[in-house]
């Protein structure tokens, strides 16, 4: 299974759906037709460091923006409560083969929007596409063996 940034982003969106089923989730920031409360999820950073042979460590930094209800009387408090809830929800990220620990999670409220970031480190192994075996050619007859 190939691990891509979109794969990790999709796993984050799925985890948000399970933890907060009443909030909408978007992978792209939208300004119109947004149903609040809602989350916007995107990858901020992906770094890859070679370990040994074909083994790598990949670091994914994910940003989750949460918009509270538009008519909330206490949007800042709502954002703080959601930030605390996200800290709990992303202690780990559930992937099909294992759970990955969430690290360096932090949040802040900017203009009544919650900005939450978290990092996931995944150990991966690069797999080359199989190369077909070479065939031999008899020079005199032109027949492949």
All domains of the chain in start order, with CATH: 5-125 (3.30.2000.10)
Give the pLDDT confidence score for residue 23 in this predicted structure. 96
Quick one: pLDDT band at residue 1, thresholds 50, 70, 90?
low
Quick one: pLDDT band at residue 103, thresholds 50, 70, 90?
very high
Quick one: pLDDT band at residue 53, thresholds 50, 70, 90?
confident
pLDDT at 94 over 90: yes
The pLDDT mean for the chain works out to 89
pLDDT at 138 over 60: yes
Give the pLDDT confidence score for residue 74 in this predicted structure. 97
State percent of the chain over pLDDT 90.
Answer: 71
Question: What does the chain look like in DSSP terms, one character per residue?
Answer: ----HHHHHHHHHHHHHHH-TTSEEESS--SSSPPSSEEEEEEEEEEEEE-STTEEEEEEEEEEEEE--TT-S-HHHHHHHHHHHHHHHTSEEE-SS-EEEEEEEEEEEETTEEEEEEEEEEEEE--PPPPPPPPPB-TTT--B-
Q: If you average pLDDT over residues 64-87, what whole number do you get? A: 97
Q: If you average pLDDT over residues 47-60, what whole number do you get? A: 91
């Amino acid at each position: 299974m190939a691990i891509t940034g979109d794969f990790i982003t999709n796993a984050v969106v799925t985890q948000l759906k399970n933890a907060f089923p009443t909030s909408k989730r978007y992978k792209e920031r939208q300004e119109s037709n947004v149903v609040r409360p809602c989350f916007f999820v995107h990858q901020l950073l992906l770094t890859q460091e070679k370990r040994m042979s074909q083994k790598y460590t990949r670091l994914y930094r994910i940003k989750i923006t949460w918009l509270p209800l538009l008519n909330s009387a206490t949007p800042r408090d709502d954002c703080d409560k959601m930030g605390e809830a996200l800290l709990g929800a992303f202690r780990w990220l559930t992937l099909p083969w294992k759970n990955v620990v969430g690290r360096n999670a932090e949040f802040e409220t900017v203009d009544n929007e919650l900005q939450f970031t978290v990092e996931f480190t995944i150990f991966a192994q690069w797999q080359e596409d199989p190369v077909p075996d070479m065939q031999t050619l008899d020079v005199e007859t032109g027949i492949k063996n």
